[in-house]
Amino acid sequence: MPETGPTPADWAAAEALIRELPPDGRVLLICHVNPDGDALGSMLGFGLGLRRLGVRRMQATFPGPPEVPEPFRGLPGLDLLVPATEAYPDPDLVICFDAASESRLGELVDRLDTAGAALVLDHHASNTRFGGVHLVDPRAAATSVVAEQLLARCGVPLDAGIAECFYVALTTDTGSFRFDATTPEVHQLAARLLATGIRPGEISRRVFDTRPFGAVRLFGEVLGRARLEPAAAAGRGLVWTWATLDDLARHDQRAYVLEALIDSVRCTAEADVSCVLKQTAPGEWAVSMRSKGAVDVSRVAVALGGGGHRFAAGFTGRGAAEEVVAAIRGQLDTALIPTAVG
Ligand code: 5GP
Ligand code: MN
């Protein structure tokens, strides 16, 4: 998979799509299903930037139920959002954010054909290069890094609204600057975002450190049933747990609260690989995987129909939880990363 970023020709083509948009052109922004901080943040921040450029007819959307997870309900630019069912059927320009493959666009995938042009902003190495013009940079810590670069090239200055969106995106995908993706460039971008006056403490508390009491108790239950398999992944270890729709219902919680669960599971010292199965329908699971560095979990995810990054990936699992984990276990050995020598 290519590890290089967009070429000068890619940047020029993307900039031309934005600059040559007719004054009454309709722009549809789409981010991936079950949007996270980078999906929503990069999309809404870019949308606010386009607004500053004078784009008036613009919608932002994502596939599935039009529900924004509580942690992101304070994001600037939410007024751009429309339900997928109301999205322009044939926009002049469609721009996709943080989606590694067409399948992540759900029922909105047809816009790639009906739109006048399609631009893809992403940072997944596993990006399938769907759509027309690609700005895919696997070295970028977040899609928002690519989005900010394109806005800068189009001459849009950062303001506090754009900055808050991009800050949420950047902190989400770098684990609040804890992951190796946290390069000097990431901190330089963070500095430019903070210089607009946004409040990092308040934003982080809202996005990462606030959850309903029912979710706290639900986490206790789900963490209490976690399984540790020290022999898995050639002795590197696997830790996993699962949460059912019934668990959510008993604690009166929405599915998005489970997104933070993997961060508690992956703390396990005795396991390189961690995994959380989140039931989405009977016999269907949204699977999250993380690795501390010994296993390329995106290989596991791609082999099982999903995608993601080397150390954070996911897929849709089918069958009983035990069967899904058996499928993962079966892929771990081939996904071991050869240890560097010397
Ligand atoms: P998370 O576990 O936080 O949902 O996702 C981790 C990474 O894996 C993200 O980069 C996300 O895009 C990717 N990912 C998660 N689920 C899927 C999936 O079902 N299909 C694909 N292609 N990627 C996924
Ligand atoms: Mn991302």
Nearest C-alpha to atom 13 of ligand 1 is from which residue? 308
Find the radius of gyration of the CA atoms of the chain.
20
Q: Which residues face 121 on adjacent strands?
A: 97, 135
pLDDT for 341 beyond 60: no
Question: Residue 4's pLDDT is what?
Answer: 87
Q: What is the mean pLDDT of residues 187-208?
A: 98
User: In which band, very low, low, confident or very high, does the pLDDT at 3 lie, cut at 50, 70 and 90?
Assistant: confident
Closest CA to 128 of 263, 317, 2, 257: 2
3-state secondary structure of 285: strand
Q: Which two tokens stand for residue 225?
A: 């049933």
Closest ligand 1 atom to residue 101 Cα is: 22
Q: What is the pLDDT of residue 80?
A: 98
Kindly state the average pLDDT of the residues 126-144. 95
Q: Which residue has the higher pLDDT, 125 or 290?
A: 290
Write down the pLDDT at residue 342.
39
Minimum-distance ligand 1 atom for the alpha carbon of 173: 10
- Determine the pLDDT at residue 2: 53
pLDDT score at 154:
98
132-136 long-range contacts (CB < 8 A, ≥24 apart) are 133/10, 133/13, 133/14, 133/17, 134/6, 134/10, 135/6, 135/10, 135/11, 135/14, 136/5, 136/6
Q: Is 210 helix (H, G, I), strand (E, B) or coil?
A: coil
Q: Mean pLDDT, the chain, as a whole number?
A: 96
Q: How far is the CA of 331 from the centre of ligand 2 (A)?
A: 24
Say which DSSP state 172 is in. H
Higher pLDDT, 325 or 125: 325
Total H helices, total E strands in the chain: 12, 11
Whether the CB-CB separation of 211 and 260 falls below 8 Å is answered with yes
Confidence band, pLDDT 50/70/90 cuts, at residue 182: very high
Shortest-distance atom of ligand 1 to CA 126: 22
- Report the 10 Å Cβ neighbour count for 254: 13
- Output b/e per residue, 90-125; b: 16+ Cβ within 10 A: ebbbbbbbbbbbbbbbbebbebbeebebbbbbbbbb
Q: Answer whether 112's CB lies under 8 Å from 118's CB.
A: yes
Say yes or no to pLDDT of 193 above 60: yes
For the stretch 274-294, pLDDT in tens is 999 999 999 999 999 999 999
Which residue CA neighbors atom 7 of ligand 1 most closely? Answer: 313
Mean pLDDT of 254-260: 94
Angle at 320 between CA 67 and CA 212, to 5 degrees: 35
Residue nearest to atom 14 of ligand 1 (CA): 314
Is the beta carbon of 300 within 6 A of some atom in ligand 1?
no
- CB of 280 within 6 A of ligand 1: the answer is no
Using an 8 Å Cβ cutoff, are 77 and 164 in contact?
no
Q: Which two tokens stand for residue 48?
A: 């606010």
Nearest bound ligand to the CA of residue 315: 1
Pocket test for ligand 1, best of 36, 97, 297 (most atoms within 8 A of CB): 36
Percent of the chain whose predicted confidence (pLDDT) is above 70: 99
Res. 107: pLDDT tops 50: yes
* Degrees to nearest 5, angle at CA 274 with 273 and 279: 140
Q: Which residues, other chains included, contact 175 with Cβ-Cβ below 8 Å and sequence gap of 6+?
A: 263
Residue-wise pLDDT tens digits, 55-100:
999 999 999 999 999 999 999 999 999 999 999 999 999 999 999 9
For range 185-197, the mean pLDDT? 98
312 lines ligand 1 (CB under 6 A): yes
pLDDT of 340 over the 90 cut: no
- Using left for φ > 0, alpha for ψ between -120 and 50, and beta otherwise, residue 225 falls in alpha
Query: Span 282-310, mean pLDDT?
Result: 96
